[in-house]
Amino acid sequence: MRLRGFVARTGRASAHWLLEGLLIVISVVLGLWVSQYQQARADRELAARVLTSLQREIEHNLATIEPFEAVHRTWASRLGSADTTASTRAGVDLFSTLRPSLPSGARSPFPFLRRSAWGAALSGGTIRLIDHDVAAVLSDIYRMQEITDGAVDRLANGVLTSPAIFDPASRASAVRLLELTLIDIQSSEASLIVLYRQHLPAIRAAAGR
Indicate whether 140 belongs to any domain. Answer: yes
Rounded Cα gap, residues 87 and 108, in angstroms? 26
Give the total number of structural domains in the chain. Answer: 1
Query: Which amino acid would we find at residue 199?
Result: H
Indicate whether 14 belongs to any domain. Answer: no
Which pLDDT value is given to residue 173?
95
Indicate whether 164 belongs to any domain. Answer: yes
Which pLDDT value is given to residue 175?
96
Q: Calculate Rg over the CA atoms of the chain.
A: 32
Rounded Cα gap, residues 27 and 54, in angstroms? 40
Indicate whether 24 belongs to any domain. Answer: no
Cβ neighbours of residue 85 closer than 8 Å, sequence gap 6 or more: 172
> What's the DSSP call for residue 37?
H
Indicate whether 37 belongs to any domain. Answer: no
> What's the DSSP call for residue 113?
P
DSSP code string of 110-169: SPPPP-HHHHHHHHTTGGGGS-HHHHHHHHHHHHHHHHHHHHHHHHHHTGGG-GGGG-GG
Indicate whether 81 belongs to any domain. Answer: yes
Q: What is the pLDDT along the chain (209 residues), one digit of tens a residue?
A: 554 554 555 556 676 677 677 667 776 666 666 556 555 566 678 888 999 999 999 999 999 999 999 999 999 999 999 999 988 899 999 999 999 999 999 999 999 999 999 999 999 899 999 999 999 999 999 999 999 999 999 999 999 999 999 999 999 999 999 999 999 999 999 999 999 999 999 999 998 86
Which pLDDT value is given to residue 33?
62
Range of the domain at 64: 46-207
The answer to whether the beta carbons of residues 145 and 172 sit under 8 Å apart is: no
- CA 209 centroid distance within chain: 19
Rounded Cα gap, residues 94 and 84, in angstroms? 9
3-state secondary structure 5-32: HHHHHHHHHHHHHHHHHHHHHHHHHHHH
Indicate whether 99 belongs to any domain. Answer: yes
* Residue 105 backbone zone (phi > 0: left; psi -120 to 50: alpha; other: beta): left
Indicate whether 39 belongs to any domain. Answer: no
Rounded Cα gap, residues 74 and 80, in angstroms? 10
> What's the DSSP call for residue 90?
-
> What's the DSSP call for residue 109?
S
